[in-house]
Each structure stands twice: as C-alpha cells, then as structure tokens.
Amino acid sequence: MDLRAPSLHLTFDNGPTTCEIEKRRVGDEWVNQKGELSNRIVRVDLSLANSGNGPANDIDVILALDPKCHLYNKEELRRLWDVYPLDPINTTEEYFAEMFRRRNRPAQEKMVAVMVDQLGFGIFEDLLGPRRQAPSLTNVNPIVAKIEGAQLTFRVTKLKQNMTRMLESFYVVFPKWKYVRSFTMDYRINSDEMISDTLGTLKLKIKKITDKRRQGSR
C-alpha cells in the first residue's frame, strides 16, 4: 500500500501566512508615471507549496476576498493603466473619444506609442513592488489566475512533493488612498489525493506611509 500523501499550503512568497508591507504614497514627481493610481494598488504574491511525501494532481486553489475588493490580473491592470485617468463610467465621452483617436493613429505613431507605453508601464510596475523571484529554475512560470468578482481560482495540474509553485500576482485596487487598508483572504485547496479540503486564511497587513509634507492631503 502506498502511504505517500501530499500536504498543500498556500502562503505569501517565502512562506509566511501573514505578511506586512509598507505602502508608501508616491509624490507628485511621479505624476507622469500615473503615481496616483499606483497609490491605490496593492499587489499580492502567493505561492502553493507541497510539504508532504507524495505528489498532488488536479489541484484547485480557491481564494475569496471581501466582495467590495476590486481585483485585476496583470493584463487587466495594464488596460486600466493605459487609459487612466479616463474610464468608461465616470468620463464616458472623453474615454470613447480617446479610444477613437487611438484606433485611427497612423501606423508609425502606433509603433512609437507601444514602445513608450511598455517603458512607462515597467516604471509603474516598479512602484507597486520589487520583482518576484521564482522558487526554482524549473518552475519559473506562475499559475494563471481566473478572477470572478472577489474570488480567484488557480488550477495546478501537478505539484511534486517538496516543491513550490508561484501563483500569478493579482492586484487589489482601492478607490482612493484613504481606503487602502489591511485585509484577509480565505482559501480552500483540494486535489485528487486529498480526503478533505485544506482551509486557511492569509492576512496582508498594510502599513501606510505618507510624506510629512502631504499629511494634510491624506
């Protein structure tokens, strides 16, 4: 009889289940990099680890946040950044006028705009946090997230014992700086080998830091 079994755990990168980050409000010098938007975004980096003595197959990781949270993957965040501060709800006329202008740009202008945007978004990403380091050279690609409202689902085909896989970063976007706050995330993990689901809670503590010269505008 094979008594080997997986033991799956969801953690922040580097292993903790509680993580504290400093969220520094960037100054006006970052206005061209859309710093006000970065002030309202918290990036969440999670990993799935198997500390058991057997592999796990067909793993589902389901993560639930407060229904009021607005979640984005990188592609969706890029679209949000691309047109900021315009949006189809609050600046409807200006938003669609800009979309029309972009669609009708000459090819050369479009090519230059793409290069400039790639550089600008790279700077913007650096404002959100440091680059992630993969736990091993064999698993450098993070597991893609499926986002539905305030719930995320990750599907992992297989995770060998004593191995860790990065999950795709996701982004919590708050409406204003003053609403940025700590939050918890409840999760459930199941796989073909597990008799019952693994349940747990992760907590992200946010320490907000504002330049003293801007205290009056918090």
Tens of pLDDT, residue by residue over 170-187, are 999 999 999 999 999 999
pLDDT above 70 for 202: yes
Nearest to 127 by CA among 39, 218, 65, 57: 39
How far is Cα of residue 137 from the mean position of the Cα atoms in its chain? 22
The DSSP code sequence of 142-192 is: PBPEEEETTEEEEEEEEE-TTEEEEBPPEEEE-SSGGG---EEEEEEEE-T
The CA distance from 134 to 121, in Å, is 22
pTM of the full structure: 0.86
C-alpha Rg value of the chain to the nearest Å: 20
Specify the pLDDT at position 216.
47
Using alpha carbons, select from 44, 34, 148 the residue that is nearest to residue 87.
34
Identify the weakest region by mean pLDDT among 77-81, 94-98, 117-121, 192-196: 117-121
Tokens 């009889």 — which residue? 1
* Domain around 73: 8-208
pLDDT at 184: 97
- Domain-embedded: residue 217: no
Any domain includes 215:
no
Residue matched to tokens 């993560």: 63
Task: Report pLDDT for 2.
Answer: 58
Q: What is the mean pLDDT of residues 96-104?
A: 88
Residues 215 and 200: their CA atoms lie apart, in Å, by: 37
Mean pLDDT of 97-113: 86
CATH number for the domain spanning 131: value is 2.60.40.10
C-alpha pair distances (Å), 148 with each of 70, 123, 125, 166: 10, 28, 23, 20
Residue 151: inside a domain: yes
Are the C-beta atoms of 55 and 6 separated by less than 8 Å?
yes
pLDDT at 29: 75
Residue 33 is assigned to a structural domain of this protein: yes
Please tell me the distance from the alpha carbon of residue 145 to that of residue 142, in angstroms, as a whole number.
9
Q: Using one digit for the tens of pLDDT, what is the confidence trace for 126-163?
A: 888 888 887 765 567 899 999 999 999 999 999 999 99
Instruction: Give residue 212's Cα distance to chain centre.
Output: 29
The structural domain count of the chain equals 1
Per-residue pLDDT reduced to its tens digit, 55-79: 999 999 999 999 999 999 999 999 8
* Mean pLDDT of the chain, nearest integer: 89
Kindly state the average pLDDT of the residues 43-64: 96
Q: Alpha helices, DSSP H only, in the chain?
A: 35-39, 74-83, 92-103, 107-128
- Does residue 216 lie in a domain region? no
| Domain-located, residue 188 | yes
Q: How far apart are the first and last CA of the chain?
A: 63
- pLDDT greater than 80 at residue 20: yes
